[in-house]
Chain A
Amino acid sequence: MSSGTDDVLQLVDLSGNLNEQRAAGLLDVTGQLVRGLYRDMVLGRRFDQEAYSLQRQGELGLWLMSLGQEAAQVGSIRALRADDRVFPSYREHVAALCRGVSPTELLSQWRGTSHGAWDPERYHFHIYSLVLATQTLHAVGYAMGVRYDRSDSVVFACFGDGASSQGDANEALNWAAVTSAPIVFFCQNNGWAISTPASKQYARPLRARAQGFGLDAVSVDGNDVLAVYAATRSMAERIRAGGAPGFIEAHTYRMSGHSTSDDPKRYRDNDELARWQANDPVERVRLLLKARDWADEDYFATVAADAEELAERTRQECRALPEPSLSDTFRTTLHEETVALRREREGYETFKESFL
C-alpha cells in the first residue's frame, strides 16, 4: 500500500490532510482545483457503477471496472494539456470521460456495436488497446512524429503492472529513452493482472526498471489525486522543455474484479480489500474539501445529482446504441475497397437482401 515515504509522492494523507510543505513548489492547491478533480472522480465512479449494472442486466457483453483508480486517471489527465496525446489501455474510462468522450462512445465497444467508437483526433485520446502494451509502442512512434513536427505537445502512454511484463512495454521504454521521445509512461499499478498479483510480474520496482532504461522515473500514491496531478504536470512540463522521457508509477488498487467475468474472491482476501477500501481515493478528497471548507453540502449534493444524471443518460443512450452493419466493416477494412472486397461485400448484401 502506498505511503508518504520519500519514495512515493503523497500530498494528501488518508485523513484528508494536505502536506503543504511537500505541495509547495509543486502546485498551487486551490479549492477550485480540488473541487474540479473531486467532481470528475465522482462522475467517473458513478459511470463505472452504471456500466457494471448494465452488464449485469445483459446490456453489455463485458465491462472492465475502474473502481478505485479514479484518482490516478483524473489526476493525470487533468494535468495534461488538451493537445497532449493520450494512448490508453482499456480501463481508462474515467480518463476518457475527462477528455470528453461520451458515455455512449465508451460503452459501444463493450456492448458489441463497435471496436472503438470515438474519434481519437477529436479528443486527443486514442481508442483502447486490448492486447497489452501494444499501445506503448504506438505512443512512442507518435512521439517521434511530435518531435519531427517540432511541437511541444507531450504523449502520454497508459499501461498496467501486468502489461509491464510484455515485450512491447520494454521495447517502448528502451526505444523512448534512446530517441529521447517526448513521452510520459503512466503505469497504473493496481496490484493485480486478473488473478496474478504484481509480485509475480516483477522482482524489482517498476520505477527502478524504467530508470535502468534511462527514463526519469517517479512513484506516486495513485490514490492521491493531487500527488498524481503534481507529478504528471511537472513531468510533462519538463519534457515540453526538452527533457528526457518520463515514467510515473501510480500505486493504486482495483477494488473490483478485472472484469465482469472474474470473481476476485477466488484470488484475493477480504483483508486486503478492506485495507484499500479505507484508502478510497474519492473519500480522501471529500475529507480534504471539508477540512479546508472548500465545499459545502450544496456542492456535494450538486455533484451527486450530476452523477445520477450521468448514470441516467448512460442507461438511456446505451440501450439506444445503433446496431452495427457488416457492410460498414467491409467498407472500412481498407482505405480504398479492392475489387475482391467489393465483390465479397456485394455478395453478402445480395444474399442478405434475398431474405427480405
Chain B
Amino acid sequence: MSDNMRNNVRDNMGHMNNQLTQEMRDLARELLASGEVKGLFGWTKGSRWYLTPPVFITKPEEADRLCYDEFAVNNLTGLLLDFRDSQDKIAVFVKGCDSRGIVRLVQDNQLKRENIVVIGVPCPGMGDKGAVTDHRQAQELPLLAKCLECRYPNPVLADRTIGAVTVTTEPSAAPSGATAEAAKGRGVGSKEADRFAQVEAIEKMSPDERYAFWQAQNKKCIRCYACRNICPACNCRECIFDSDKKNWVNKAATPTDNAFFGITRAMHVAGRCVECGECERVCPMDIPIMAMNRKLIGDLNELFGPYDAGVKADEKPPLGAFKLDDPEEFM
C-alpha cells in the first residue's frame, strides 16, 4: 500500500469512527435523558491515541465523553457484575465478542436480562497497541491476534444497535454494518482456522517439555488475578482464590501454586469461556492463557459435539449437561 492509500484508509476509518461515536453519544443521551437506564458502560478516549478505555456515565450531558474506534478493545460485560444485586437498569455497548459475555452472565444467573440494555456495535477489528512505535502520532497498527481469529464479529444479541450492524448467532458470519469493509480489509476473522495452532504446537511437545513450558509461564504469574477479574465467565461471588483461610489455596506465588490457580481457573471456565481473549490481553506477564482455554474448547468439541459458549442462552454448557451415551474411557 502506498502512503497515500494508507492515509486514505486511515481517513476513512477516522470518518467512520466519528460517525459511530456520534451515534453512540446520541443513543446514550437518549437512554439516560429518558430515564430508561440509570447508567451506561461505554468507551472513552484515553490519554494516548491508541487508548480507548472503559467509562461509566450516568448523566445525559456525559454522553459526549463516549468514543469509539479501533482501540475500544475492553470487553465491558464483566463490569456489569457490580450491578448484579441492583435493580437498576444499565446499558452496555458490545462488540461481537463482548456480546457473548452477556449471554454468559444471563445464563449463569448473575444478571437479569431485563435489567440490561445491550447495544450492539459494529467492529472494525482492534489494533494491537503492542506494535506502537510512535506514541505521539497515530499510525497504522496490525490487528490483535484475537481479532484475526474472530468468529463472531457481529453481536449475537442486542436490544439496540448502532452503525447498522446485523445481530446474528451464526458463527463465522461476515462482519456487517458501518465498519464491515474496514473489518474485511484489515483481516478480521481471516485466521479463524489458526485458533488452535498454539494448542497443537504445545501438544506436539513431549510431556516433560510441556511441563517445562507451563512451569516457565507459571513462574511468571504474579497472581494479580486480572485474567479472572476481567472475565465474564469468572463470576463467582466468592472465588476460592480470594481466601487462603480455608487452606485450599495459598497466596504463595510459587510456580506450582500458580499452576494450581491456572489449571483451576481454566477448568472453571471450561465450556463457559466465550473466547473474548481478554484474559490473555490483560495479563501483565504475557502468559498464553487462551492456549489453556482453547485446549479445553477443542476437547469439548471433540468429546461432546461442537459448542460455542455464550451464543444461545437456551443451550446448556457441556459440563452442565450430559448424555447417556457420552464417550466412555474410564470403564
Q: Do A and B bind each other?
A: no
Taking beta carbons and an 8 Å cutoff, which residues of B are in contact with A?
Answer: none
Taking beta carbons and an 8 Å cutoff, which residues of A are in contact with B?
Answer: none
